Every structure is written in structure tokens, then in C-alpha cells.
A and B are shown apart, each in its own frame.
Chain A
Amino acid sequence: MDQRRRDLLCIMELEFAAIDLNLFLDTHPEDQRALADYNAVSQELMRAKMAFESRYGPIMNFGCGISHGTWRWVEEPWPWELCFNREE
């Protein structure tokens, strides 16, 4: 697997943790431990996304990320064009 896929996998793992904690917090908004976990994961996720974006272009649109040099948002691959097969 190439470095770009590995970096993206790391973001996917962090964001999945954030999604699951977010849903849990929606019905347990007073849970301080889950909230601390959510905030920690979110900070790590933001850092990982910024590092990814500086190498490969924006991962989010509409002002949620910066594009260096040229408008790299239009660059392929789009998510459905990217498989994570073991040999790739």
C-alpha cells in the first residue's frame, strides 16, 4: 500500500472513533470520560488532516481545508476510485 493510502487509513481510523463517540455522546451528553476521549480524538484527527492536506491537497471542501499551490480539490482519485486491496 502506498504512503497516501496509509495516511488516509490513519485518518479513517481516527474519524471512525470520533463518529462512534459522537453518537454515544448524543444520548450521554453528561459522560465526561467519553467527552474527554472525543476531544482528544478530534484534536488528533485535525492534526492528521492538516498534515495530509499539505501533502496531497484538501480532504474537505467549502473552506474546511487549505489547498497549497494550485486548487488540488479537483485531483483524482475520488473515494470510489480508491480501493485498499492488500497488494496495492
Chain B
Amino acid sequence: MWIYEKKLEYPIRVSYTNPRLAKEVITQYGGPDGELAASLRYLTQRYTMPIPQAKAVLTDIGTEELAHMEIVAALVYNLIKHASVDEIKAAGLDDYYADHDRALYFVNAAGAPWVASYIQSKGDPIADLHEDLAAEQKARATYEYLIQLSDDPDVTDALRFLREREVVHFQRFGETLNLVHEWMDSKNVF
């Protein structure tokens, strides 16, 4: 069960219409290291975690990633909602516009749609948690590239918040991996 809260996790500011920046930022909505992939990965891996703390971590981080997906969507929405067709063409967002107008859709920066093969659910908690650690680092790196590409300090502020959360998630997944190793040692599981 999930409850919706009528608020974002972090307050966003968008200074001006900027379809060029929207075209890059949308990769964290539907790209390989984006927030949809993150949330679905954790929320589907949780079922086969062997210890209660790992089930809690994957449930809670997966849920927080849904909130991040919503922040990214709100950024993209506000960056393009007032864009003229001429501005959209100039930004190279015309291919996207042909299929989606100014609606939100799950694509990477190059326009390729989200695919389930971005994520894995292996059933082996060590393999899954290592994937999660790598996923957090890839998301952190993507936010750093987006910060370099951003010419809007207000959007950069939200990207910094999202980057920081990936660092925290990496830390929690590392602790979870240690707890699973301890559990395996205590059980002599190989």
C-alpha cells in the first residue's frame, strides 16, 4: 500500500522556460540510471531479501526514489510548460514533441524509451545489493553531469539535493550489505 502526499520531498524553483535543459534532465525520469529505474529496482528486489533490515531499506529507499521521480518530473514539466514550438525546435526537443507534446514520458536524454532491462532482480541478495550500490553511484555521476550542463542555478539546486540523496542511499546500501554478510556468516550460508 502506498499513500500519496500532496507535496514534493524538496521544494523546486524553476527560473525560466528552458527546453534544452529539460531534454537533459528527463534522463533522470526515464533513463538507465534514472529514478523510475531506481524505484522499480528496489521495490521489486525487496521480496527476496533474507533479513528484515534489508526488506525495510529496499522498501524505504524505493519509496524515496518515487518521490525523486516526482521531483524530476516537476522540473521537466515546469521547464517546458510555456515553451513555444520554435523554442522546442531550437532546443532539439522536436522529435519528443512529435510523440508527446509537452507531456511527461519515460525516455533518456537521447529519447530512447525506458526498458526493464535497465534493472535486474537476481534473487541473490549479495548480487542485488551490489547492483544497488553501483546504481547509486551511476545516479550520482549522472546528477554531476546534469549539474555541469545546467545553466539555471535554481534547477542546479534541486539537482544537488538529488545528488546528495544518492550518496546517502549508497551509504545505507553498504550497511545493508554488511548486515547480510553477517547474517550469512552466522548461518553458514554459501
Contact = CB atoms under 8 A, between A and B. Distances in A.
Contacts of B8: 12, 79-80, 82
Interface residues of B, number: 31
Contacts of B172: 23-24, 26-27
Bin chain A's interface residue count.
20 to 34
B83 interface: no
Interface in A15-69: 15-16, 19-20, 22-24, 26-29, 58-62, 64
B78 A12 contact: no
B73 A80 contact: yes
Contacts of A60: 3-6
A78 B12 CA distance: 13
A20 B7 contact: no
Contacts of A84: 11-13
Contacts of B151: none
B190 to A, nearest CB: 24
Contacts of A78: 6
Contacts of B77: 80
Nearest to A20: B168
Interface string A1-18: 000000011011001100
Interface of B: 3-15, 53, 56-57, 60-61, 64, 70, 73-74, 77-78, 154, 168-169, 172, 175-176, 179
